[in-house]
Amino acid sequence: MIDSDRNFVDTNVFVYAHLDNEPKKHSKAVFLFENTLIGKKVIISAQVVNEFYSVMSKYKYSHDEIVKFVSEISAKANIQSISFDTSKKAFYIKGRYQYSWWDSLVLASALESGCKVVYSEDMQHEQVIENSLKIINPFM
């Protein structure tokens, strides 16, 4: 079931919300969380948490700082597990839409979670996946 109040957020949006080295993207990411997504369910997958940890460590944040950020994220977002069924759906999406494996896994997770929108910088803006999931680049 698709729910317009369920929105999947990709890793890059969380990264920009926490980093201010790109002020325009930082302010757009913060605006998304503080305005657009207010009152809506934010959905992420365990993959997003893992990618966030990896990216933030490349920016030299300490383990403890990143864990604090992840704790803040998990307080505001529903974190979905990735199953083999998710992977099978990602195989299909990769073959049909030609996204990278990791982006296909994000899209599969969003579809499984019943999301109507996925916010990501990495995919084709306004493309609709499987007639139900719209990709929105919040940095455009």
For residue 17, the model assigns a pLDDT of: 95
SS3 63: helix
The residue with greater pLDDT, 39 or 127, is: 127
How do residues 122-137 score in pLDDT, each as one tens digit?
999 999 999 999 999 9
Strand (E) or helix (H) holding 79: strand 77-80
How high does pLDDT run on average in the chain? 94
85-102 pLDDT tens trace: 999 999 999 999 999 999
The H or E element spanning position 17 is: helix 11-18
Which strands, in side-by-side order, build the sheet including 128-129? 77-80, 41-45, 3-9, 115-119, 133-136, 128-129
**What structural domains does the chain harbor?**
3-136 (3.40.50.1010)
pLDDT at 4: 67
Q: How far is CA 15 from CA 19, 109, 126, 133, in A?
A: 6, 19, 21, 22
Query: Which residues make Cβ contacts (< 8 Å) with residue 96, sequence separation at least 6?
Result: none
- Two tokens, residue 33: 């969380």
The two structure tokens encoding residue 76: 């505001």
Over residues 63-86, the pLDDT tens digits come to 999 999 999 999 989 999 999 999
